[in-house]
Structures are given as structure tokens and as C-alpha cells.
Amino acid sequence: MIGGMDEIDRFCDSFLDDSHRAFREAARGFAKQAIEPHAYAWEEAELFDRGLYTQAAEAGLLGPSFPEAYGGAGGDVFHLLVSTEALIEAGCTGAAVGLGSLEIALPPIMILGSEAQKQRFVPPVLRGERIAALAISEPGAGSDVAGVRCLARPEGAGYRLNGSKLYVTSGVRADQVTVLARTGLDPHAGLSFFVVEKGWEGFRVSRALKKTGWRASDTAELAFEDVFVPTTHRLGEEGAGFACLMQTFLGERLYLAAQGYALAHAAWREAVAYSKAREAFGRPIAGFQVIRHKLADMAARTLSAKVLTYQCAAQVRAGSCSPAQVALVKNEAARAAEWVCREAVQVLGGMGYMRETKVERFSRDARLLAIGGGTSEIMNEIASKGLGLAP
């Protein structure tokens, strides 16, 4: 079941205007018709239909907060939040995050790219014609971004790129990959962004990875062997990569926090509906106080994660959010998602352990949130610094 306002939505409604509400309804309509009927099959197949990209683009759901000049919907961060809620509710987080890989792959192009690069690499992605992925993590460098070893060595009118990237969301099908590579010795100032295109000699997908959750999205290990990257595909000045990445992390972590409360909210709705329909000992299980109180506790955790994320989004929109604040919010939303989805499985009993149910899938999807986009330990490090706790 997708849609409908409940107490949690109502509590957060003051952050939204009519355009957000209308957009949420349109996104829910799309998710119900284009994703929900296929969710189970796509999760089982570990891949969603590629045609979903163009369908989502036609519905205005790809890059809702990107400027209209580049093919976006010209909205703000709340348009992204409400569409994320709707897509996740459909029960196929893999499709939601697969469509969403552009939300992390395009920002470095928008921040560092020339006008020509933006026009070339952004509109085709927002039309759903090309798939974009972001490649930062490597077999030897995840949390420690300054440890990136993928090497871009100057050669003629470009660079020779060598190395590998790991856990790249949408990387198997990507037509363009925004790659962070080393152009200098300094751990931070020696990193630069490039756009590498599918089909270039020496660039290949070395592995499609199998995952616990987010199953309908593809995740790749990528290999770069003497790939020639023309200078036209370097974003900004040499060495601008690390500072840009720190800037984009804010948006990425907020997006992950949104997935957190959205998973919790969707799991809670499923559990409430089940508790009213399922009977035991001659009455609906919602008739047992222990189940009702569990559902009330789940609502409280969901609500607090959602309010925190909305507040954080309002500050991001106003340009007044710190990395520590986003880190705290991401951790809290991730914890809420894991706990609420676990309890939702409990409310559904044996059915909650079956892959055909949304809550089973949500409980696996939620586990990622404490890892992706920076682990909970790294978020606590960032928060500690912001809180003045680090020695």
C-alpha cells in the first residue's frame, strides 16, 4: 500500500509547500504503477528494468532538485526527500537507489564542471538516456578517502588512468562514471575528478557484486587499465577533487538519512496494516497491548528521524548545515531504520521473514545505511570534531 497522510506526515507537513505535496502525490502514483508491481521480481532478479530510467525521467523524478537549465525539475532538497519516500514505499529500495545514483554522480560535475561539460554530462542522465555512477571507494581505500590510489598520469592531451574501484552503485550499467583519481602526491590536494565513459579502451566492469540488500540495484567493481582520459573529461582544476567531495558528502548523507526515515516509515505502515488484519487468539494482534505499544515506539523513532532529517534539509537549503550536524542526523536515521524495520519483521511474525514481504526486504536494506556514504564510526568521528570532543 502506498500513500495517505498519517500522524508522522502531518507532524512534518509544515516543512513542505504545495509544490512538494503535489510532487509527492505524483511520485506515489508513479511508484505504485511502475515499481510496486515489479518490486519482488526485480529484487529476486537482482536487477530492475532499464526502461524505468526513462519512465522516471518522464514523470520528472530523475534529479528533482537539479536546475531546469540542465533538465532537472528545478525543485529544492524537499522535492528529493518526498520522491525518495514515495519510491522507497514501493518496496524496491534497489530501484530507488539505482535511479538515485545520479544524485551522487552528478554533483561533482555541477560543482566543478565547465558549462560545456555540464551540458554534455548532465541532461542525458536526467532524461534517463544515460546512467551515471560515482566511483570513490577502492579495494584499499573506503573510509580513508585520502588513501585513493587510482592513478591518473599526465600524457599528451590527457591522462592515463590505472587502478580499480569497488562497490560502485549502478556501475555495471553506467554509461559514465565520475571517478576520483590521484594526480599528485599530497593525500588531499593530489586528488582530481574525471568523467570516464563506457566503451573506452581499458575500462571494464571486473565484477558485478552480490549484496545483502538493495538487491535490484547493480553494484560493480571497475577496472581501469591504461585508460586514456582526455583533459576535456577532467572536472575543474587538478587537485580540486577532495574539497569538492567534502562538499558533496553533505547532500549524499542527507539523501541516505532520508532513505533511513523513509524505510522506517514504510515498514511501520506495513506493520500497522498487518497488525489490524492478522488474528491470533481470536482477535487482531493490534488488540494486544504489547503489539500496540511496539507500534507506538516504532512511530516515535520514525517521527524523530524524519523531523531531524527535515530540519537538517531545511538547514542544507539555507546553506547553514555543518558536516557534524549531517553526520549526527545520518547516524540517527540509520539506527531508527534498522530498529524499526527489525520490529516490523517481528510484528509480521513468520511472514516477516519471507522475501515476498516488503518488511523482510526493508530490514536488509536498512543495514546499508550505517555503512554507505561513510560508516557510523566515521560519522561519529566527524560529529566528535564538530562537537569539540576531539583532543
Rounded Cα distance, 31 and 314, in Å:
25
- Let me know if 115 is a catalytic residue: no
Q: Cβ of residue 348: shortest distance to ligand FAD, in angstroms?
A: 25
H helices of 127-184, in order, are none
Q: Please give the torsion angle defined by the CA atoms of residues 80, 84, 87 and 93, in that order, rounded to the nearest 10 degrees.
A: 140
Distances (CA, A) of 333 to 64, 171, 188: 22, 26, 29
Binding to ligand FAD by CB under 6 A, coded x per residue (else -) over 325-364, reads: ----------------------------------------
Please identify, using beta-carbon distances, which residue of 75 and 260 lies nearer to ligand FAD: 260
What is the per-residue binding string for ligand FAD in 80-119, x denoting contact by CB under 6 A?
----------------------------------------
Task: Establish if 259 lies at the interface with ligand FAD (CB under 6 A).
Answer: no
Taking CB under 6 A as the rule, does residue 206 contact ligand FAD? no
Q: Do 30 and 61 contact (CB within 8 A), yes or no?
A: yes
Q: Is 193:235 a contact under the CB 8 Å cutoff?
A: yes
135 binds ligand FAD (CB under 6 A): yes
Q: With CB under 6 A as the contact rule, which of the stretches 18-26, 135-143, 156-164, 244-252 interacts with ligand FAD?
A: 135-143
Closest contact distance (angstroms) between CB of 102 and ligand FAD is: 11
Rounded to the nearest angstrom, the gap between the alpha carbon of residue 175 and the centroid of all alpha carbons in its chain is: 19
137 belongs to the binding site for ligand FAD (CB under 6 A): yes
| Active-site residue, from 103, 138, 252, 270 | 252
Q: Which of 346, 381, 384, 385 is in the footprint of ligand FAD by CB under 6 A?
A: 381
SS3 of 109-142: HHHHCCHHHHHHHCHHHHCCCCCEEEECCECCEC
Distance from C-alpha of 75 to C-alpha of 313, rounded to nearest angstrom: 13
Q: Which chain residues interact with ligand FAD by CB under 6 A?
A: 134-137, 142-143, 167-169, 211, 214, 219, 368, 371-375, 377-378, 381
